[in-house]
Chains A and B, each alone.
Chain A
Amino acid sequence: MSIDLKTVKHISKLARISIDDEKANKLKGDLNNIFEFIEKLNELNTDNVQALTSIAETTLRFRKDEIKSENIREKILKNSPEENKDFFVVPKVVE
């Protein structure tokens, strides 16, 4: 199978990365090369194989639901690109 330009643009939309036509064409070539390489997996019959979902064979631990850090508003807002005193600021969402 091969990935066409329309698909590349669709994926870029899903990934929220804007790309121009030149970049999209370059990516189309790269992705097709990479997927050609990935297709090798189809040589294997995996009908009766269980998917490996976690390499660490443990179950997730439970912990008490308690507040451990307080008054961290300032720390959280410290790196925001645009802020006012209490909030992250983004372009207007509701018209």
Chain B
Amino acid sequence: MSDITSQSLFELTSNIKEKKLSSEEITKAFINRAEKSKKLNVYVTNNFEKAIDQSKKFDSNPNLDFKLPGIPIAVKDLFCTNGVRTTAGSKILNNFVPTYESTVTQNLWSQGAILLGKLNCDEFAMGSSNETSFFGNVQNPVGENLVPGGSSGGSSAAVAANLTPVTIGTDTGGSIRQPASFTGTVGLKPTYGSCSRYGIVAFASSLDQAGPMTKNVRDCSMLLEVISSFDQKDSTSIDYKRNYYSKELSKDIKGKKIGIPKEYRVDNMPDEIEQLWKNGISYAKDCGAEIIDISLPHTNYALPTYYIVAPAEASSNLARYDGVKYGFRSPGQNLIEMYEKTRSEGFGDEVKRRIMIGTYVLSSGYYDAYYLKAQKVRQLIKKDFDDAFSKVDAILTPSTPSSAFKIGEKTNDPVSMYLNDIFTVPINLAGLPGISIPAGKDKNNYPLGLQVIGKPFDEQNILNISYALEDKINFKNDISDWWLSE
């Protein structure tokens, strides 16, 4: 049997069901490794003691019908966990201990999973490198002083470094798929309305979705099956019959029509990414898929649209952090001064910048010029996809325009940081499902991903295409454990 922490979710689950491993053994193995991996800074809060207790409790009376029987899982610190501190990577929530549980994490525990701890992320999920977190940046296990992507950077690093078998992140403009691409892992953003947003610290409500981040596509299908559910507590949750994703997983993609959008061939894209994309196309052909050239003419307008819509929604959502009912408070002479000081000291620079953008585009006299304009362009972007999906079953693109960059490299230039999400943002604007799978490496040996985009609620199809491609690509991450301490 291979080392416990390097096993996939599928292997761990099988080993528990066949009684070859106990939940306690597995839980302790991940905790031991975490104790030696502090240099990566993936954990904001650990739940190790309670996790060991819970694993013993599971082993004393194991329910092997569960889908995640006694499996320890760390989650992004954006999911509210009852009784366990939830910070969203922000000083303003530094001391916040929720008295309720998010639906998505509740789904994990209801299937036997055990909380290992809360993973670092960009503050309020606003960032593409995990550098905006109040709790410091995360190291990418792929190489020293390399960002793990963001905002789910602690999550992607934890999966790649074997510190959790799988995890869940959230994706508003690429926050699951971009870090997955940067760390050689798999990340899926489900269709808007698939996974409940209840109990997730809100960033941009019309774009936010939770999704699985895993070592491989099969694990991804297993985890999606658990977290995707209809929920009365989320007014935009959609009641539809969800697939039995792991059971229906298949490499047979013969006859599937896969679109290649010409607009994703951007200026200055490294040759390796172009080559990676070509390889993906030829693998898909080898599997019997039909490749069709398509056009998504408004692709170039997606990022400017996103940087109006997302900050506008964020400025409204983050109005709640006023130092009155929970979170950090900075005292003031009067109520207004208390609000202003609390928010000034409690939020980091990127969050303030986005609140300012959002406040401006929603302010009197500018609403039509910016916000309404963006809502109209969002319609055009969605229509591009509707038109494309009348001809194809899925779309194949690179996940990101570059591989992971150095810590500090882009922090002084917000726009160049935003450009990281050029291939992922349109999918959130259109509410579609998208998955990033590791597909190769660049000249520095850093991982690169390919993205498969599907029709609404067609997660099964993009999982199957990814499963077939994964088999052909045969990606190996070979991470050296350079960060381990004794």
Contact A79 B97 (CB under 8 A): yes
* Cβ 8 A contact of A11, one of B238, B333, B340, B359: B359
Measured CB to CB, the nearest residue on chain A to B300 is: A40
Give Cα distance in the complex from A39 to B332, angstroms.
Answer: 38
Give Cα distance in the complex from A27 to B353, angstroms.
Answer: 7
Measured CB to CB, the nearest residue on chain A to B306 is: A38
Q: How near does chain A come to B155, taking the closest CB pair, in angstroms?
A: 24
Which residues of chain B have C-beta atoms less than 8 A from A58's C-beta?
193, 236, 238
Give Cα distance in the complex from A19 to B418, angstroms.
Answer: 24
Which residues of chain A have C-beta atoms less than 8 A from B298's C-beta?
44
Known contacts A19-B344, A55-B431; A50 and B376 CB within 8 A of each other: yes
Q: How near does chain B come to A42, taking the closest CB pair, in angstroms?
A: 8
Known contacts A17-B343, A50-B379, A55-B382; A31 and B356 CB within 8 A of each other: yes
Determine if A2 is an interface residue (Cβ-Cβ < 8 Å): no
Known contacts A16-B322, A34-B357, A56-B192; A79 and B377 CB within 8 A of each other: no
Contact B307 A37 (CB under 8 A): yes
Contact A90 B338 (CB under 8 A): yes
Contact A52 B334 (CB under 8 A): no
Determine if A53 is an interface residue (Cβ-Cβ < 8 Å): yes
Give Cα distance in the complex from A31 to B350, angstroms.
Answer: 11
Give Cα distance in the complex from A54 to B334, angstroms.
Answer: 39
Contact A81 B328 (CB under 8 A): yes
Determine if A82 is an interface residue (Cβ-Cβ < 8 Å): yes
Give Cα distance in the complex from A31 to B359, angstroms.
Answer: 12
* Per-residue contact bits, chain B 387-420, to A (CB 8 Å; 1 contact, 0 not): 0000000000000000000000000001100100
Measured CB to CB, the nearest residue on chain A to B193 is: A56
Give Cα distance in the complex from A79 to B236, angstroms.
Answer: 28
Determine if A14 is an interface residue (Cβ-Cβ < 8 Å): yes
Q: How near does chain B come to A39, taking the closest CB pair, in angstroms?
A: 8
Interface residues on B, range: 35 or more
Measured CB to CB, the nearest residue on chain B to A92 is: B334
* Per-residue contact bits, chain A 7-19, to B (CB 8 Å; 1 contact, 0 not): 1100110111111
Contact A90 B353 (CB under 8 A): no
Measured CB to CB, the nearest residue on chain A to B100 is: A75
Q: How near does chain A come to B316, taking the closest CB pair, in angstroms?
A: 11
Contact A60 B357 (CB under 8 A): no
Give Cα distance in the complex from A30 to B301, angstroms.
Answer: 20
Which residues of chain A have C-beta atoms less than 8 A from B322's C-beta?
16
Contact B332 A78 (CB under 8 A): no
Determine if A63 is an interface residue (Cβ-Cβ < 8 Å): yes
Q: How near does chain B come to A65, taking the closest CB pair, in angstroms?
A: 14
Determine if B95 is an interface residue (Cβ-Cβ < 8 Å): yes
Those of B298-323 within 8 Å (CB) of chain A? 298, 300-301, 303-305, 307-308, 315, 322-323
Determine if B244 is an interface residue (Cβ-Cβ < 8 Å): no
Contact A16 B382 (CB under 8 A): no
Contact B338 A88 (CB under 8 A): no
Contact B344 A51 (CB under 8 A): no
Known contacts A78-B97, A80-B325; A40 and B334 CB within 8 A of each other: no
Give Cα distance in the complex from A45 to B382, angstroms.
Answer: 16
Give Cα distance in the complex from A76 to B370, angstroms.
Answer: 37
List the 5 closest pairs (A to B, CB-CB), nearest first: A79-B326, A51-B375, A55-B431, A81-B329, A46-B376
**What are 28 A-B contacts defined by CB distance under 8 Å?**
A8-B356, A16-B322, A16-B339, A16-B343, A17-B344, A17-B347, A17-B355, A19-B344, A27-B353, A37-B303, A39-B304, A40-B304, A41-B308, A46-B380, A49-B379, A55-B382, A55-B431, A60-B235, A61-B232, A76-B99, A79-B96, A79-B99, A81-B327, A81-B328, A88-B325, A90-B335, A91-B334, A91-B337
